[in-house]
């Protein structure tokens, strides 16, 4: 019983170490961590890594799940009523915090999603979550206007944030101002057209 328990615990520890290693490597800027790098970082042999995970997809799937747990505390409730400028500011601040925290891992997941059912599914799930959040925060303004929802969702998306931060090289504050301005303009346009 003790030997079996020890093996199970060692397996769990090794699995956790490998998953933490891939996430840490991504956070440090390694855009495509290799199994060898994961093994070296985690202290788990390459052979053991391939025994712990059926394939690289299994390791990536475990990393995505761990990433979700790591950022769970960043997913704070946002105001769904009150002054529009307060709701816009709360959404932008929340997204800036989340998008900056997940950027390296998200880039990795996006790059691999086309060939990974697990990663593609996880990206679709998170997109649905953040779209529902936009709908809830701006429900009074959106009403049944799906086109406005699409526009607001796109403006507040990780893809927009990534373009502003990585593509344009904007600081967090500058990118937040651009997203705030875009959301404000879209919502003001809605108010004007009523």
The predicted model scores a pTM of: 0.79
- Tell me what pLDDT residue 1 has: 47
Tell me which architecture the domain covering 2-53 has in CATH.
Orthogonal Bundle (1.10)
| Span(s) in the chain for CATH 1.10.10 | 2-53
User: What are the two backbone dihedrals, phi and then psi, of residue 147, each rounded to the nearest 5 degrees?
Assistant: -65, -40
How far is residue 78 from each of residues 14, 48, 98, 175, 183, measured CA to CA in Å?
37, 43, 13, 20, 16
Q: For each of the chain's 194 residues, which pLDDT tens digit applies?
A: 455 677 778 888 888 888 888 888 888 878 778 888 888 998 988 888 888 887 777 887 788 888 888 888 899 999 999 999 999 999 999 999 999 998 888 888 888 778 778 788 888 999 999 999 999 999 999 999 999 999 999 999 999 999 999 999 999 999 999 999 999 999 997 655 54
Distance, CA of 141 to CA of 59 (rounded, Å):
42
As a whole number of angstroms, the distance between CA 102 and CA 176 comes to: 16
Residue carrying the six token digits 């998170």: 126
């Amino acid at each position: 019983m003790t030997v079996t328990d020890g093996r199970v615990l060692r397996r769990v520890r090794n699995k956790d170490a490998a998953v933490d290693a891939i996430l840490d490597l991504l956070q440090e800027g390694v855009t495509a961590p290799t199994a060898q790098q994961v093994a070296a970082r985690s202290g788990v042999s390459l052979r053991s890594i391939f025994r712990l995970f059926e394939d690289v997809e299994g390791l990536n799937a475990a990393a995505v799940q761990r990433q979700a747990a790591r950022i769970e505390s960043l997913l704070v409730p946002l105001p769904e009523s009150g002054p529009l400028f307060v709701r816009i500011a709360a959404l932008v601040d929340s997204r800036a915090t989340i998008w900056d925290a997940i950027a390296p891992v998200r880039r990795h997941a996006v790059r691999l999603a086309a060939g990974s059912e697990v990663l593609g599914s996880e990206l679709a799930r998170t997109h649905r979550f953040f779209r529902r959040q936009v709908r809830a925060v701006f429900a009074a303004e959106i009403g049944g206007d799906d086109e406005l929802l699409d526009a607001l969702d796109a403006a507040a998306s990780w893809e927009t944030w990534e373009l502003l931060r990585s593509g344009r090289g904007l600081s967090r504050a500058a990118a937040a101002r651009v997203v705030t301005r875009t959301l404000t303009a879209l919502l003001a346009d809605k108010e004007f057209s009523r």
